Amino acid sequence: MKEVMILTGAGQIGMAIARRMGYGMKIVIGDKRVENAERIADTMNKAGFNATPVKIDLASRSDILALIDAARQYGEIKYLINAAGVSPSQASVETILKVDLYGTAVLLEEVGKVIKPGGAGVTISSQSGHRLHALGEEADRMLACTPSEELLRLDILRPQNICDTLYAYQLAKRCNVKRVMAEAVKWGKRGARINSISPGIIVTPLALDEFNGPRGDFYKNMFAQCPAGRPGTADEVANVAELLMNDKGAFITGADFLIDGGATAAYFYGTPKPPVF
C-alpha cells in the first residue's frame, strides 16, 4: 500500500504542485473531462510518477465520495490538491456556485474525514475573493460553517441575489477561504493541515484563451499595472504549495496565501494614470 495524493482539476497548476509533492506516491487525478485527467496522468507517468485518471464532477457529492473511495484502494490519503473549478466566462451563476463553492466545500469536508495524520491539503482559490467587499461577520460565519448540503440555500447565495457570474465567482472564492479556516479546525483533530492559495493571473491554456477573448484587454492591463508587471506561472504557485504541504509549513493551517504579483494591492491602492487629453 502506498501513500496517496488526490488531485482534482487536471490543469497546469494542479500538475505543477503534484510534481513537487507526488514522488513515491500514488496520484489519483480527477477531472470532469476524463481525457484531461488521462493526458496529465500520461505526462506524469512518463516522468516517473504513478498516476491514475478518474472522471469526477466536483458538483456531485456522489462523485466526490467515489473518488475518495477509489483513492483509498491504494492506501491512506496524505495529500489533497484541489485545483478544479470554472471561470466567470465559462459558466453560469448556478454552475459556478455548484462547482467552485459547493463542490469545494464537500471535497474539503469529506477528505478531512479520512486524511492521514501528518497529511496536508491545498485548495486553489483566487484573487477575486480578495476584491469582494466585506460581507460582515455573520455572512462570513455562514459561508464558513453552514453544512455543505445547506450552503446553496443561503439567501446570500440565491441566484436571484447575484448580479452576474463575476460576483458569483467572487462569492465562491470568498467562501473557499472561509471554509478552509473552518475545516482547518476539523483537520487539526486528525493531525492534518489545510490551506488555500489565491493566485492572480497565471499563464495556462485557459488564461491564454482569456487573453484572446472579449475580456483580454482587461486581463492584460491588470498584470501590466501590477507591481510585478507580468502574469505568474504555475510553478510559482507550486513554490507556495510546496511550503504549505511539507514539514517547513507545519505551523501553517487555515490560512490563505495571495499570490498575484501585487495586482490586488494595485487594485485598491495603486495610483491611477492621468487622463490623456
By annotation, the residues acting in catalysis are 169, 173
Q: Which amino acid is at 31?
A: D
50 within 8 A of 37, measured Cβ to Cβ: no
What DSSP string runs through 236-276? Answer: HHHHHHHHHHSGGGTT--S-EEEESTTHHHHHHHPPPPPPP
β-strand pairing of 77-82 with 120-124 = parallel
DSSP letter string, 157-185 = G-GGG--SHHHHHHHHHHHHHHHHHHHHH
Beta bridge partners of 232: 202
Q: In the numeric block, which cell numbers belong to residue 21?
A: 509533492
Taking the C-alpha atoms of residue 132 and residue 169, their distance in angstroms, rounded to an integer, is 10
Amino acid letter for position 173: K
- Pair 11, 83: CB distance under 8 Å: yes
Assess contact for 222 and 201: CB atoms under 8 A: yes
Neighbours of 137 (CB within 10 A): 8
What does the alpha-carbon distance between residue 47 and residue 141 come to, in Å, rounded to a whole number? Answer: 43
Q: Are 81 and 122 in contact (CB under 8 A)?
A: yes
